[in-house]
Amino acid sequence: MRELQLESVLTCPHCSHSSSELMPRNACTFFHACKECGAILSPRPGDCCVFCSYGSVSCPSMQEQRSCCSAPDRPEGSGVSA
């Protein structure tokens, strides 16, 4: 079994700023504020969290191949807001 990775590098799709972030093991991260431009990142449609959408490593739930937290209902195309 592969070791669970709890650190992921999030990359902002607006300004390309990257930051290393620690992922929670027991919760999904639905929103993240870019530390450079302030954009609020949210999961792209079909992804469960910002780490699965913009991270270098998928969230712990996806790494363990188990279902993740339910993503909140979002209108189509609302993956990122400024």
Beta-carbon-side half-sphere exposure of residue 69 (alpha carbons within 13 Å): 17
Calculate the average pLDDT of the chain: 84
Residue 34 pLDDT exceeds 80: yes
In a domain, 13, yes or no: yes
Q: Is residue 81 part of a domain?
A: no
Q: Choose between 38 and 72: higher pLDDT.
A: 38
The number of domains in the chain is: 1
Distance CA(81)–CA(40), nearest Å, equals 6
Residue 4 is assigned to a structural domain of this protein: yes
Q: Is residue 76 part of a domain?
A: no
Residue 82 lies in a domain: no
Write down the pLDDT at residue 39: 98
Closest CA to 43 of 18, 7, 77, 8: 77
* Residue found under tokens 């990359």: 11
Instruction: Outline where DSSP puts E strands in 1-82.
Output: 7-11, 18-22, 32-33, 40-41, 80-81
| 77 domain-assigned | no
